[in-house]
Amino acid sequence: MPAPINGFKQAILAGRQQVGLWLSLANAYTAEIAALAGFDWLLIDGEHAPNDIRSILAQLQALSGTPSHAVVRLPAAETWIVKQVLDIGAQTILVPMVESAEQARSIVAATRYAPAGVRGIGAALARASRFNGIADYIATAGEQICVLVQIESRAGVAALDDILEVEGVDGIFIGPSDLAADLGYPGRAGDPAVQRVVRDALARIKTAGRPSGILSSDAALLEGYISSGVAFVAVGSDVGLFTTGLAALRKRWPGQSSAVACYV
């Protein structure tokens, strides 16, 4: 029996647009709620959310069997965390701050068993192989792993054409917030100067025949990204929805509260 089919990878490589949501609450319960909303993919954030390997595992388990595909963003481009995340069952990873083709090749190698790469042989102990229940896991896992690399700096943009040539990189995600800061526009990802760089990068990815991805909560920007054919788009975050929803509800029912906020 081979490794499970990665439907998200199949979809983006076939040009079928996938709409997703960022999960930053680091909670399996809310991850399951998001999955039941019907998003194509959900990003479990290991970089900026308070996640560890166990909370990522819990969210992967919560998403299992739902229509939403789990994408795990790693905290950094380190071989050891790639190994752990794949072993607990992730099939799609997003790696932040990639700035060279050499770095991209190293990431791909971390997802492949020898002789094609350097992933450690621990499948018999891993949830990914259903604890050795998938007899052909080691032989078939690599084909179903989806590697997404994140370009979010001037150095990454400069190296983009070389990164696009790296075999095993399945998609390129543009990180507009960090890119904006590196370009001198912190907190201003929608600035026209930043968007010119973003759109140029997206166009180069499309010209190379590779799937591109991006995150935004700006409806106008999102409409432009979607109409231009960005393959996988995150249209918001659980934290953003939760905070804006709570604020709107409180505003609707202001009451006579005299509570004083206290932060330690």
69 carries an active-site annotation: no
Q: In whole angstroms, what is the distance from residue 74 CA to residue 201 CA?
A: 22
Answer whether the bond into residue 115 is a cis peptide, omega within 30°. yes
Catalytic residue from among 2, 33, 36, 48: 48
> How far is the CA of 246 from the CAs of 22, 229, 240, 251, in angstroms?
18, 33, 10, 9
Active site residues: 48
